[in-house]
Amino acid sequence: MKAPGFTIALTETPLLGHFPDASAAEGIILAVRNVEANITQFKFAFCDSRINVWRCQFQSFKADFKVAPSDTFTEVFLPWSAFSDKWSASTGKHTAENPPQAASLRSITQLQLWTEGVAGKFRLQLKSVRAGKALRTLVV
């Protein structure tokens, strides 16, 4: 293929997975730390109940995020508008914007962390994943 591949870490199979209703939230908040890495670009994805177990990996809602190398955990907010279930299976890039609707956010069945199309070594540590409001910065 003459291109870097991908890695994926995921929760249990969508047949067994079930997560709380996230439809009232504004997006996903990840607490992550990127150590010993030359890769800083990642993807977070989720499947919902409309996607069967065999297609979950290829039809999930996916969003890009960056994490600079650090010794401390940092929180990354991914708004629902950053997610799309329309993306290239070979590159992972969005081919159309199609954010999840409330029905999808009420029926999340699997969570996924990806690297795609980048070569290198990485160790991304995940402390927590939660649905919530946008991270606010206090201006003084």
Number of neighbours of residue 9 by Cβ within 10 angstroms: 11
In the predicted structure, residue 14 carries a pLDDT above the cut 80 = no
Dihedral Cα 4, 11, 132, 63, nearest 10 deg:
20
Number of neighbours of residue 134 by Cβ within 10 angstroms: 12
* Per-residue model confidence (pLDDT) at position 99: 94
Q: Beta strands 74-79 and 41-48: pairing type?
A: unpaired
DSSP 38: S
* Per-residue model confidence (pLDDT) at position 11: 87
Q: What is the mean pLDDT of residues 91-95?
A: 82
* Per-residue model confidence (pLDDT) at position 53: 64
Hey, what domains does the chain have and what are their CATH numbers?
A: 6-132 (2.60.120.430)
Three-state SS for 98? coil
127-138 confidence digits (pLDDT tens): 999 999 987 755
Share of the chain above pLDDT 90, in %: 51
pTM of the predicted structure, to 2 decimals = 0.88
Phi, psi for residue 89 in degrees, rounded to 5: -70, -20
